[in-house]
Structure 1
Amino acid sequence: MPRLTRLTPDTAVGASRDLLAELVSRHGEVGDMVSTMAHSPAVLGGYLQLSRAMGRAKLDRGISERISIAIQTRQGCRLCLDAHVDAARRTGVDEGEIERARTGTSEDPGIAAIIALALQVYREPTSITDAQVIALREHGYSDRAIADVVGVVALNILTGAFNLLAGLTPESGADA
């Protein structure tokens, strides 16, 4: 059961009302996570800005989804995990790779290396080495794609932690 209530443009106040009204006018409706985030205009605005910015990331979408699966498996947000597994399937990631992503790896050494980096950013960024970054470049990743990993991880931490705090689960009918 959700711990925080959904807000609508009619029940939200101030900046949150404006943000929700704009989203509803553009999309017709908003999901539970977004409408619940509206309790904090700072969190909602930050989420929307980071989400839009990461839409321009240079990291391949299938790789980004595998990173998200690895992070959400560890963070424990089933709502986010389910959404990222579905998105990975839509981008053509096969079931074997989805399962490997859950364990933090890939059959492809380059993808395995970037997932490993993402998990280090999530758990222990001080343990990242120069050699890892050099190896990622040797796998063909640009500095921009490597930097994008931090944004993917940050977005996953934000959405997963928020959903866990708010009590949003697949059973509550919410969406990430």
Structure 2
Amino acid sequence: MPRLARLTPQTATGASRDLLTDLVSRHGQIGDMVATMAHSPAVLTGYLQLSRAMKRAKLSRKVSELISIAVQTQQGCGLCLESHISAAFALGIDDEEIDRARTGTSADPGVAAMITLGLQVYREPTSITDEQILSLYDHGYSEREITDVVGVVSLNILTGAFNLVAGLTPHRPSSGRRP
């Protein structure tokens, strides 16, 4: 049960009304999270800017989604987890690889190393070592891709924490693939 009301361009005020009006005019509709984030124009603007910026990330979408699945499994946001699992399926990632991501690993050692980094950024960034970063270079990752992991995790923390506080959960039956 949602704890915060979903806003519309008609019910929002000030900057939030402007943001929602623009989003609805460009996309036709907006999701529950965005409509609820509109209670704080600062939070909504921050989310929109970070989300847009991460679309320009160098890190592959596959690795990004697997990191997101690992982080959301830990954070416990069912809405985010469902969304990232659906995105992973759309990218052609199979059930076994999604299950591995949920446990914090991958069949690919390089991807597993990036998932590990993402979970450390989420849980305990002070535990990241110089040797670990050097190992990521050995797997072929660039400084930009390693830096992108911090953005991916930050976006997941924001959306997951917001959805949990707002009480937003998946509200439709599963497609048969489990979140």
Report the TM-score range of the alignment, normalised by the length of the smaller protein.
over 0.9
Unpaired segments of 5 or more residues in structure 2? Answer: 174-179
Residue 156 (structure 2) pairs with residue 156 (structure 1): yes
Report the secondary structure of 2:171's partner residue: helix
Distance of 1:106 and 1:29 partners within structure 2: 35
Query: Residue 121 of structure 2 corresponds to which residue in structure 1?
Result: 121
- Equivalences for residues 27-176 of structure 1 within 5 A: 27-171=27-171
Output one character per residue of 1:45-97: Cα deviation in whole Å (capped at 9) or x when no partner. 00000000000000000110000000000000000000000000111111110
Distance of 1:98 and 1:144 partners within structure 2: 24
Deviating above 2 A after TM superposition, structure 1's stretches of 4 or more consecutive aligned residues are: none
Unpaired segments of 5 or more residues in structure 1? Answer: none
Q: Is the 8 A contact 1:50 1:155 kept in 2?
A: yes
Distance of 1:135 and 1:46 partners within structure 2: 32
Aligned residues: 173
- Equivalences for residues 1-20 of structure 1 within 5 A: 1-20=1-20
Report the secondary structure of 1:9's partner residue: coil
The alignment's TM-score, normalised by the length of structure 2, stands at: 0.95
- Could you tell me which amino acid in structure 1 is paired with residue 149 of structure 2? V
CA RMSD after TM alignment:
1.0
Q: Is the 8 A contact 1:34 1:44 kept in 2?
A: yes
Deviation at 1:44, TM superposition (A): 0.2
Distance of 1:41 and 1:14 partners within structure 2: 9
Deviation at 1:172, TM superposition (A): 7.4
- Could you tell me which amino acid in structure 1 is paired with residue 74 of structure 2? R
The alignment's TM-score, normalised by the length of structure 1, stands at: 0.97
Deviation at 1:171, TM superposition (A): 2.5
Output one character per residue of 1:103-151: Cα deviation in whole Å (capped at 9) or x when no partner. 0000100000000000000000001000010000110000000000000
Q: Is the 8 A contact 1:15 1:41 kept in 2?
A: yes
